[in-house]
Amino acid sequence: MEEPNLTTSAIIGFSVKLEDDSSQFYEELAKRYVDDIETLRSFSKESLNNRILVTRTYQETITDALEACFSFKGLSLSNYLADMALKDDMTYYSALKLAIELEEKAIKFYLDVADRSKSLLATIPNAFRKVAERRNKRKLKIESLLGRLE
Amino acid sequence: MVILEEPIKEAQTLKNYIGGEWVESKGKIVEVVNPATCKVIAQVPISTKEEIDEAVQAAKAAFPEWRRAPPLSRARCLFRLKELMEKNFEELSRIQTMEHGKTIDESRGETRRGIENVEVATGIPSLMMGYNLEDIATGIDEYVIRQPLGVFGIIGPFNFPFMVPLWFIPYALATGNCIVVKPSSEDPISQVKIAEMAEEAGFPPGVWNLVNGGRTVVSGMLDHPGIVGICFVGSTPVAKGVIYRGCGETGKRVIAQAGAKNFLLVMPDADLEKTIAACMTSFYGNAGQRCLSGANLVVVGEGLNEYEYNAFCRKVSGAFVDEASKVRVGYGLDESVQMGPLRDKSKKERVAEFIDKGIEEGAELRLDGRKTKIVGDLPHTCFLNPTVFEGVTPEMTIGKEEIFGPVASIMRARNLDEAIEMIHSNPFGNAASIFTSSGKWAREFQYRVQCGNIGINVGIVAPMAFFPFSGMRDSFFGILHGQGAEAIRFFTESKVVIQRWF
C-alpha cells in the first residue's frame, strides 16, 4: 500500500534500521561461512558506516524551512523490505541469493529517496546516492562470490 | 510507524541560573504542558523583579573580566557549547517537540539552525575586527575598534523555544557582553538545557544568566538601568508598544522582531507540484505558528484571459486543498506526523475564532480544520487540522490580521502590480514569496516588495545564521537585526581613535 507524504524522519529511521539489520545479517553470514569472513565482515562494517553517513548528513543539513515533512510522496516502505532471516539449514549459495535480493531492494530504496529529496539541501540526496553506489558495488562482489560457487 | 521515546520522564520544577548557581525562584509556579498529550512535563517559576535584579547584578559583576577575555577564549567556550549541543542533538530536538508540539523533523531543523548561530559566532576573532587608515593627516592615523557594552536582556518567544534566543546569545557573548535570558514560560525547558550546557562549556559565573518568568521579568528588564539592550521576538503590539517604547524611554538598544502576515504569490508559469509542496511547509509547518509562515496565497493571472485565469485559480486551489487535506496531524514524536498541535488550548481557540470570522465575512471555507482528525489516541485539546479559505480579500479579518495557526487564505490578483499592492496594503512586512519560472517577474518582485525576507520559489524565507533575519514595517522595530554581522554590530560600540605621536 502506498504511504503518502512520508516525513524525512521516517525515511532516515527506515534507513537506519535497514543498515543495522544489514550489518547484523552480514555479521551472521561471516560467522557461518568463514571462508569469506573478511569480505562479509567488511559488508557489515560498511553498513554501519552507511548509517553514520546518512544520519550525520541529515542532522547537519535538516532545516525546518524546507519541505522535510512533505517530500517523500508515493513510496511504500514495505516494497524495500527483504527477508533477512537465515535459516539453520541454509546453504551458502541460498544465503548469497538472499543477500543479492537485500542489496537490490536497498539500492532501489536509496535511489528512490534520492530522487524525491532533490528539493532538500543537496547533501541529503547525495548521501543517499553514495550509499546506493556502495550497495551496488557490494552486490557485484556478492555476485562474484556466487559465481565462484556455480 | 515509529513513535520516538520521550526524553522527559517526570516533571521537574525548573530553576533560575544566576551568577553560576541554579537557584529556586520565590515566584509562583505554573505548569508546562505537552500540548499533544496534555501531560505536565515541568513546572516553571514566574520570577520576581528582585530576581531579575539579582541576575543583572551578577551579569554586571562578571562583565569586566569577561570583556577582557581574549576573543579566542570566548570563542572556545562557544566551540565547547557547540560540541555539547551536537552530542545532545537528539535529546534537545525531542524536548522541543514535547514542550512546543512541533514535529521531530521541525525540531531537528530548529536545533540545527540554533547550532549554526553558535558556529558563526565562533568566528568572532575575525568578525569583531575594526578597521584603520594611516595618514588621515600628516603623521596621524585613525582606526575603529569594536567594544562590548555590558549586559543584554534576551526575551524568547514560545514558537521557537530553542533557536530564537540563539539568534542573539552567541553573538552577545562572543563580543564580550553578558546576558540575562528569559525564555517563554510556555516552553522554557530548551533554554534551561542550553544554560546547563553553557555551564558545562565553562562560561564563567554571571556571564550567562537565565530567569524564568513572564511580564514581571520583561518589565524588570526594560526598567533596569543595568541592562543596555534588549532582544525580543514576539507579537507586534508587544514589540511596538512595550519593548520598543520601553527601550526608547530607558535609552536601551533594541532588536524587536514582531508579527507577520506573509503573502505567497503563484504566477501562471510556476511549477505547481513543487509550489504546492513548498506551500504545505510554509502554511502548515510548525502548525502555522511562525513569523515566516505563509498566510495569504495569491493566485496571479498576469498574462491570462478571464477564462484561462479562472481555470488556473481552480487548478491551484484544487491542488492546495487536496494536499492540505492529506496532512497527517498528531504527536510530533510520531515519525509519520507532518503537523503537530497548537501550543495550547487558548491558541487553538483563537485560531478557531478567526475561522468563524472568515465564514461570517463571506470567505468560502474549502477545508475546515476544526473537524479534527488526528493520528493516534490523543486528546484533541490543542489540535486543529489544516484549514483553507478561498475568495478571501485583503480587507477581510482573516486576510489582514495575523492568525498564527494553520489557516490558508486563497486570494486572487489579476496581475503582479495588483498582487504587490495587496502586500503593501497590509501593515506587516516580514516575508513574501513568489513562485514563478520568470526571472523578470522574480526581479520585479524582489525589487519592489517592502518586506524584509523575500522568497523566490521558497516558501519559508528563513535566513541562514550568517545573514540577518530581516523584517520591515510592523514586523520589525529597531535598526540592526539578529544573526551574523548585524548582530555583531548590535552588540558592540564602534569607538574611533585618532592617533598622533609627537
Indicate which of A14, A56, A70, A72 best probes the interface with B, i.e. most B CBs within 10 Å of its own CB.
A70
For residue A3, is it within any domain?
Answer: no
Mean per-residue pLDDT for A45-50? 98
CA atoms of B186 and B191, how far apart (whole Å): 12
pLDDT of residue B137: 97
Structure confidence at residue A4 as a pLDDT band (50, 70, 90): low
CA atoms of A50 and A53, how far apart (whole Å): 5
pLDDT exceeds 90 at position A74: no
pLDDT of residue B475: 96
Q: CA dist B115 to A12, A64, B94, B272, Å?
A: 21, 14, 15, 33
Distance from the B447 Cα atom to the nearest Cα atom in chain A, whole angstroms: 23
The CATH code of the domain that includes A107 is 1.20.1260.10
Residue of A nearest to B107 (CA): A64
pLDDT cut 90: percent of chain A above it: 71
Question: Which residues have C-beta within 8 Å of that of residue A94, sequence separation ≥ 6?
Answer: none
CA atoms of B73 and B174, how far apart (whole Å): 9
pLDDT of residue A118: 81
Enzyme catalytic residues of B: 291
Structure confidence at residue A63 as a pLDDT band (50, 70, 90): confident
CA atoms of B69 and B147, how far apart (whole Å): 12
Cα–Cα–Cα angle for B423, B425, B426, nearest 5°? 70
CATH 3.40.605.10 positions along chain B are 20-128+143-258+475-500
Subunit contact A65:B2, Cβ cutoff 8 A: no
Tens-digit pLDDT profile for residues A79-123 = 999 888 888 888 999 999 999 999 999 999 999 999 988 877 788
Chain A residues with CB under 8 Å of a chain B CB are 3-10, 13, 58-71, 119
pLDDT exceeds 60 at position A1: no
User: Residue B112: its chain A contacts at CB < 8 A?
Assistant: 59-63
For residue A147, count other CB atoms closer than 10 A to its CB: 9
What ipTM was predicted for this assembly? Answer: 0.88
Indicate which of A14, A57, A69 best probes the interface with B, i.e. most B CBs within 10 Å of its own CB.
A69
Average pLDDT, chain A: 91
The CATH number of B262-456, from 3.30.450.20, 3.90.1300.10, 3.30.360.10, 3.40.309.10, is 3.40.309.10
Name the H helices within B345-501.
345-360, 397-400, 416-425, 439-448, 484-490
DSSP one-letter string for B263-295: EEEE-TTS-HHHHHHHHHHHHHGGGG-STT-EE
pLDDT of residue A122: 82
Domain count across chain A: 1
Subunit contact B280:A6, Cβ cutoff 8 A: no
Model pTM score? 0.94
pLDDT exceeds 70 at position A3: no
The answer to whether B140 touches B499, Cβ cutoff 8 Å, is yes
| pLDDT top residue among B498 and A61 | B498
User: Residue B2: its chain A contacts at CB < 8 A?
Assistant: 10, 13
For residue B119, count other CB atoms closer than 10 A to its CB: 16
Distance from the B294 Cα atom to the nearest Cα atom in chain A, whole angstroms: 12
Assess B286–A contact: CB distance below 8 Å, yes or no.
yes
Structure confidence at residue A72 as a pLDDT band (50, 70, 90): confident
- Could you please state the CATH topology (level 3) that the domain comprising B20-128+143-258+475-500 is classified under: Aldehyde Dehydrogenase; Chain A, domain 1 (3.40.605)
- Nearest residue to B489 via CA among B171, B143, B243, B252: B171
pLDDT exceeds 90 at position A73: no
Its domain, for residue A94, covers: 8-149
Assess B334–A contact: CB distance below 8 Å, yes or no.
no
For residue A82, is it within any domain?
Answer: yes
Subunit contact A10:B328, Cβ cutoff 8 A: no
Distance from the A64 Cα atom to the nearest Cα atom in chain B, whole angstroms: 5
For residue A1, is it within any domain?
Answer: no
pLDDT tens-place values along chain B, 502 residues long = 689 999 999 999 999 999 999 999 999 999 999 999 999 999 999 999 999 999 999 999 999 999 999 999 999 999 999 999 999 999 999 999 999 999 999 999 999 999 999 999 999 999 999 999 999 999 999 999 999 999 999 999 999 999 999 999 999 999 999 999 999 999 999 999 999 999 999 999 999 999 999 999 999 999 999 999 999 999 999 999 889 999 999 999 999 999 999 999 999 999 999 999 899 999 999 999 999 999 999 999 999 999 999 999 999 999 999 999 999 999 999 999 999 999 999 999 999 999 999 999 999 999 999 999 999 999 999 999 999 999 999 999 999 999 999 999 999 999 999 999 999 999 999 999 999 999 999 999 999 999 999 999 999 999 999 999 999 999 999 999 999 999 999 999 999 999 999 9
Residue with cell 479562472: B310
Question: Which residues have C-beta within 8 Å of that of residue B360, sequence separation ≥ 6?
Answer: none
CA atoms of A99 and A89, how far apart (whole Å): 16
Structure confidence at residue A149 as a pLDDT band (50, 70, 90): confident
